[in-house]
C-alpha cells in the first residue's frame, strides 16, 4: 500500500509522457545499477535533482515515511490482540507503544545532527535498515519484554527516517517546488494515518499480528535498493558530535515527557522525580550548547524571530490536533452514541481532508506568505473543533462528517506552508537540524495535547470531551494569532 501512496504524485510531477516512460523503463537501470561515472558527476546539482532521478528519490522518501507512519498507526489498532496473545496486562502492553515513541523522541535531534555531519543519505538509509531489523525482531518476538526491546530499535530507525526526511526534500526538489514537495509529503503522512487502521484490520483478518511488522521488510529493502542510487549525496561537515550532549538530550526529552504523562495520570512522587531529572538534564543541555555555532539542539536557529514563531505555531497546532484526536473517540461513543466501528469511519474525513488540502496549500506556499496561509488554516481548524464540540446529541453522520472535514482542511492548510517556512529559514547545511527541530516540535505538541486531556479527566471537569474540544479550538485560534505575527517585517528579516 505505501508504494501505491507514493506513486500518485509521481505521475503528477512528470512533465511529459515520453520522459515518464524513459524514467520508468529506461532510466531506472541507470539509477539503481549505474554503469559508470563518478560520485561527483552523479551528484552534481545546483538546485535539487534533475528528472528522472528526482522521481525515484521522491519515491524512496515516501516509501520510508509511509512505512514509519503506518507502523505507529497499525500497532495502536493491534494492541489488544498482541496483549492477549502474549498474556500481558493491558497496562503493561502500553509499553509496546511508549517504547517506540520514547525512542523516537530521544533520538531525533542527535540523528539530525549526525546527518549534518555524515551526510543525510547515509543516516537516512541506515535508519531504514535499523527499522527493518527492528521490524523482523518484532515479528519474531514471543514475550512482552522482547517485543518492547524490538520496538525500541524500530523507534531508533524511525527517528533516522523522520529526522532526515525534510533535509532530503530540500536537496531533492528545486527551491521553486519546495512547498509543493512538502505538501506531497503531508499527503503521504495523512494517507498513511488514515489507512493505518484499515490495513491493520485487513492483515489481522487473514493472519497473525506478527505480519503487521514482517510486512515492513520487503518495503524497506526496496526503499534501500532505490535510495542507494537515487537519493542526493550531500557534503559531510567536520562538526564534532558531543556524546555528553546526546546523553543529556535523551534524558531530557524522555524524562520530561514520561514525567509529565505520569503526573497527568496521577502517578505521584515517582513521576515527579522523573520529571525533575528530565528538566534538570534539559537545563544542563541548554547551558552546554547555548553559545555553540552549530549545536546538536538547534538553539542557534531559534535566534531568528521567524523560526521561533514558526516553531511555536507548530507546537501549538499539534497540541490542538492531538487533544482533539484523543477526545473525539470518547465524545463520539459516550456522547453521540456511536460504536467503535462507526467512530473509526467518522474520524476518517479528518486525515482524508488533510491529504486533499496539504498539496494545494503547498503549491500556494511557493507564492504566498505562510503567515496568512497558516493563520487562515488554523482559524478554520479552531472553528471546526468548536463546531464538533457543539454537535447536537442526535446529529446525523453527515452532520459530523462535515465538521471533521473542516478540521482536516484547516490543518492541511497550516501544515505545508509552515513546514516550508521552517525549512527555508535555515541554512542548507543545517537542513538536518531543522528537520529534527520540526519533528521534535510535532512530538512535543502531541505530548502536550495528550497531557491536557489527561489533566481534564483527572480534575473531573464537567463534560470533559466537549471541554477538551473547546480548549483545542482555543489553542488553534491562539496558534493562528502567533502565525500572523510572521507578517511583520522584523519577523521576515530575522
Q: What is the pLDDT of residues 183-233, one digit of tens each?
A: 888 788 877 877 777 787 788 888 888 998 998 999 999 999 999 999 998
- Among 1.20.1250.20, 3.40.50.300, 1.20.210.10, 1.10.10.10, name the CATH number for the domain at 2-230: 1.20.1250.20
The C-alpha cell that represents 10 in the structure block: 509521481
Q: What is the DSSP string of 271-339?
A: HHHHHHHHHHHHHHHHHHHTT-SS-SS-TTGGGSHHHHHHHHHHHHHHHHHHHHHHHHHHIIIIIS---
- Among 1.20.1250.20, 3.40.50.300, 3.40.640.10, 3.20.20.140, name the CATH number for the domain at 301-493: 1.20.1250.20
What's residue 59's pLDDT? 93
What's residue 23's pLDDT? 39
What's residue 264's pLDDT? 67
Residue 436: CB atoms within 10 Å? 30
Cβ density class 219-237: b for 16+ within 10 Å, e for less: bbeebbebbebbbbbbeeb
Percent of the chain with pLDDT over 70: 87
Sequence ranges of the domains in the chain: 2-230, 240-293, 301-493
Please state the rounded mean pLDDT for residues 72-89. 79
Tell me the whole-structure pTM to 2 decimals.
0.72
Instruction: Note whether 2-230 and 301-493 share their fold.
Output: yes
3-state helix, strand, coil in the chain (%, to 5): 80, 0, 20
If DSSP codes are grouped into helix, strand and coil, which group holds residue 47?
coil
pLDDT digits (tens, 9 = 90+) for 379-412: 999 999 999 999 998 889 999 999 999 999 999 8
Amino acid at each position: 500500500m505505501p508504494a501505491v501512496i507514493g506513486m500518485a504524485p509521481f505521475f503528477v510531477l512528470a512533465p511529459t509522457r515520453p520522459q515518464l516512460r524513459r524514467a520508468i523503463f529506461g532510466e531506472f537501470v541507470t539509477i539503481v545499477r549505474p554503469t559508470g561515472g563518478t560520485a561527483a558527476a552523479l551528484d552534481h546539482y545546483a538546485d535539487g535533482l534533475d528528472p528522472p532521478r528526482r522521481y525515484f528519490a521522491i519515491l524512496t522518501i515516501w516509501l520510508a515515511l509511509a512505512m514509519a507512519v503506518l507502523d505507529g498507526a497499525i500497532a495502536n489498532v493491534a494492541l489488544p490482540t498482541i496483549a492477549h496473545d502474549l498474556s500481558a496486562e493491558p497496562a503493561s502492553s502500553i509499553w509496546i507503544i511508549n517504547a517506540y515513541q520514547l525512542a523516537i523522541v530521544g533520538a531525533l535531534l542527535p540523528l539530525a545532527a549526525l546527518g549534518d555531519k555524515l551526510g543525510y543519505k547515509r543516516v537516512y538509509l541506515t535508519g531504514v535498515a535499523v527499522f527493518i531489523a527492528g521490524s523482523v525482531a518484532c515479528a519474531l518476538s514471543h514475550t512482552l519484554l522482547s517485543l518492547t526491546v524490538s520496538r525500541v530499535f524500530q523507534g531508533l530507525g524511525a527517528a533516522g527516517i523522520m529526522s532526515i526526511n525534510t533535509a532530503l526534500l530540500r536537496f531533492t526538489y528545486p527551491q521553486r517546488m519546495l512547498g509543493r514537495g512538502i505538501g506531497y509529503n503531508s499527503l503521504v503522512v495523512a494517507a498513511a494515518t488514515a489507512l493505518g487502521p484499515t490495513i491493520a484490520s485487513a492483515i489481522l483478518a487473514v493472519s497473525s499480528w506478527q505480519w503487521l511488522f514482517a510486512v515492513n521488510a520487503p518495503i524497506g529493502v526496496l526503499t534501500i535498493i532505490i535510495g542507494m542510487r537515487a537519493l542526493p549525496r550531500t557534503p559531510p561537515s567536520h562538526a564534532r558530535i558531543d556524546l555528553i550532549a546526546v546523553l543529556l538530550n535523551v534524558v531530557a526529552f524522555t524524562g520530561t515527557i514520561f514525567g509529565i504523562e505520569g503526573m497527568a495520570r496521577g502517578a505521584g512522587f515517582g513521576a515527579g522525580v522523573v520529571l525533575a531529572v528530565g528538566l534538570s538534564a534539559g537545563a544542563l543541555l541548554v547551558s552546554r550548547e547555548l553559545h555553540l555555532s552549530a549545536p546538536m539542539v538547534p538553539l542557534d536557529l531559534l535566534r531568528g524571530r521567524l523560526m521561533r514563531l514558526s516553531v511555536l505555531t507548530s507546537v501549538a497546532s499539534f497540541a490542538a490536533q492531538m487533544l482533539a484526536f484523543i477526545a473525539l473517540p470518547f465524545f463520539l461513543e459516550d456522547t453521540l452514541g456511536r460504536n467503535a466501528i462507526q467512530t473509526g469511519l467518522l474520524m476518517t474525513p479528518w486525515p482524508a481532508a488533510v491529504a486533499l488540502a496539504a498539496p494545494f496549500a503547498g503549491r500556494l506556499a511557493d507564492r504566498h506568505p505562510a503567515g496568512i496561509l497558516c493563520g487562515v488554516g488554523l482559524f478554520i481548524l479552531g472553528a471546526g473543533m468548536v463546531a464538533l464540540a457543539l454537535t447536537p446529541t442526535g446529529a446525523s453522520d453527515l452532520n459530523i462528517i462535515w465538521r471533521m472535514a473542516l478540521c482536516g482542511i484547516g490543518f492541511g492548510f497550516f501544515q505545508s506552508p509552515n513546514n516550508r517556512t521552517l525549512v527555508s529559514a535555515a541554512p542548507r547545511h543545517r537542513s538536518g537540524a531543522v528537520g529534527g527541530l520540526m519533528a521534535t516540535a510535532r512530538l512535543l505538541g502531541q505530548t502536550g495535547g495528550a497531557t491536557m486531556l489527561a489533566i481534564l479527566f483527572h480534575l473531573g471537569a464537567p463534560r470533559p470531551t466537549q471541554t477538551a474540544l473547546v480548549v483545542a479550538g482555543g489553542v488553534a485560534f491562539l496558534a493562528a494569532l502567533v502565525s500572523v505575527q510572521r507578517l511583520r517585517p522584523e519577523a521576515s528579516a530575522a
